[in-house]
Amino acid sequence: MGGYRMKKLWGGTSLALAAALTLSGCGGGDSNAADDGSGTLTISAFISTPNQAPAENNRIYQKIQDELGVKLNMEFLVGDLQQKLGVMIAGGDYPDLITADTKLVAAGAVIPLEDLIEKYGPNLKKHYEKDWNRMKDSSDGHIYWLPNYGAYTGEFQSNYYSGPAFWIQKSILKDAGYPTPKTMDDYLKLIRDYAAKNPAIDGQPTIGFTTLASDWRTFPLLNPPEHLTGHPNDGGVVVDNGVASVFADKDISKQYYKELNGLYNEGLLDKEAFVQNYDQYLAKLSSGRVLGMFDQHWNFQAAEDTLISQDKVGQTYVGFPLVYDSSIQDHYLDRPVINLNNGFGISKDAEDPERIIKFLDSLMDEKYQKLLSWGEEGVDYQVDDKGRFYRTPEQRKQQEDPAWKLANRADGFYAAAPKLEGTFDDGNASGPGNQPEEFYAGLRSEDKELLDAYGFKTWSDFFSPAPENPVYYPAWQIDLIEGSDASVANKQMTDASLKYLPQAVMAAGGKFDSVWEQYVKEFGKINVKAYEDRINEQIQWRIENWSTDK
């Protein structure tokens, strides 16, 4: 069990859809789609995020079951994702729905979806229409995954910032008179000064800076150099003039890790940074004693939710687009892009893929999309006389309670499922966070004070406007193909980074350079060219095959 994130649909079609779903077939088996005899279809799903299981009487899941005749039996990730997937693949036993990983395609664990969508998923086809070619696997032309983010309709609005940045506690900014750090030097001076004045926070030793390199979440440790040099998030490469190159062992990376080495020897870098797992990382941020880190906002939002629930708004974070020097233009904020190789696939073990597609298609109706993002009208939000959605202060407050959300939201499933983003047909944003007036009204007084001090209205205002995305972007979505020379090289590079970077950062004074030389020497033994060749080949393939997408 576990998981909860869904979309909204509400409307006159729901009963007809429920009837269609109930009559279209049934499954068998304990773990796969099955009719329980009452007309309710149970769909099993594995979701590769460590969410808490929803409450048994969760209001939104119950409404979906009552109206669409579908019950979701969800399992959320516990422990290491790759280990979990390896066990699944070795056993050859899969749930009906499974969140994406390219190795599942290589293992033959998931089925092509394009024909099912064409026949039974008109809402899904419309939703993905402009990205249809992008979604096709470059090796066989099939579509295996239903991307969970990045397919926008109507007007794109960005108020909340969920991407990469160097984050710093709001209390530090207030204490320093609301400065705007532009470089690492600016940023680290703020942390050093505040830590000197506040050696302990809430009775625990202050941590100046931390990072994370656990399981697949290695990007907080590995990605900063590309951003500090003015490049967007292309994963393990920087792309200049259409040509990708690995940066992990280059001087642009050495400069960053040498800064961390200095912090470590000053006692300001978290000494557990390289051994903590994701849950420990979130717990540490939730304590309110970590002054800063590089991360993507979505990756630590749960920790901020905890801080907010404890009224520790000053210990939540603001992101800044730091660069090495002021001559570099920051490129942290980017335009929406379809989240390839993410979202749900349907496994080979699903007994009724047609009915599953019909269910997912029904959830794409605006009625259910509104249910999953805004909630129920009159319960979770109100509608004013102009048709604009808003929440009362009481409704906003309850959304901050993690226990309330487990009983009244479907966030775990919704995060992995296809979803409408942008605006609905009635002009309302696809979620409260993107409704401009609701976003600002929902801010706490401390946040309004901070934004007012900078002359901003949203968290995205701290970043330079996003330029148009190159057609190939982002390179991190490129499938390296399991078992290929490129995939092997990628693993070897990651392993080398996770071995040597902690040693370099934690090296005693004067020893950093010698450890870095060992790291570069180790990289020299890896077939990095195979990795770069695969990325560059696919960049060119995308330019040739995706340029006609509208």
Query: Alpha-carbon distance 543 to 534, whole Å?
Result: 14
Mean pLDDT, rounded, for 230-251? 96
User: How is residue 381 annotated by DSSP?
Assistant: B
Residues facing 422 on adjacent strands:
153
Q: For residue 335, what are the CA distances in angstroms to 161, 364, 541? A: 12, 23, 21
Q: pLDDT tens digits, residue range 269-292? A: 999 999 999 999 999 999 999 999
Residues facing 200 on adjacent strands:
205
pLDDT-derived band of residue 32, with 50, 70 and 90 as boundaries?
low
Give the three-state DSSP class for 296: strand
pLDDT-derived band of residue 37, with 50, 70 and 90 as boundaries?
low
Report which of residues 164 and 442 the model is more confident about: 164
DSSP 298-346: HHHHHHHHHHHHTT-GGGSEEEE--BSSTTSPP---------TT-SEEE
Residues facing 34 on adjacent strands:
42
> Pairing relation of β-strands 97-99 and 70-76?
unpaired
| Tokens linked to 436 | 């401009």
Report which of residues 182 and 33 the model is more confident about: 182
Asked if pLDDT for residue 30 goes beyond 80, the answer is no
Query: Alpha-carbon distance 150 to 134, whole Å?
Result: 12
Mean pLDDT, rounded, for 448-472? 92
Report which of residues 475 and 482 the model is more confident about: 475
Closest by CA position to 3, among listed 412, 353, 398: 412
User: How is residue 77 annotated by DSSP?
Assistant: -
Is the Cβ–Cβ distance between 178 and 454 less than 8 Å?
yes
- Give me the chain's average pLDDT, please: 91
User: Which distant-in-sequence residues (6+ apart) come within 8 Å of 490 by Cβ?
Assistant: 236, 480, 531
| Tokens linked to 143 | 């579509």
Query: Alpha-carbon distance 440 to 475, whole Å?
Result: 34
Query: Alpha-carbon distance 42 to 190, whole Å?
Result: 53
Query: Alpha-carbon distance 333 to 51, whole Å?
Result: 27
Query: Left if phi > 0, otherwise alpha if psi is -120 to 50, otherwise beta: which for 53?
Result: beta
Is the Cβ–Cβ distance between 33 and 41 less than 8 Å?
yes
* Enclosing H/E stretch for 293: strand 292-296
Q: pLDDT tens digits, residue range 172-184? A: 999 999 999 999 9
Is the Cβ–Cβ distance between 24 and 355 less than 8 Å?
yes
pLDDT-derived band of residue 36, with 50, 70 and 90 as boundaries?
low
Is the Cβ–Cβ distance between 397 and 309 less than 8 Å?
no
Q: pTM of this prediction?
A: 0.72
Give the three-state DSSP class for 460: helix
Cβ atoms within 10 A of the Cβ of 14, count? 20
Asked if pLDDT for residue 378 goes beyond 90, the answer is yes
Closest by CA position to 186, among listed 288, 330, 4: 330
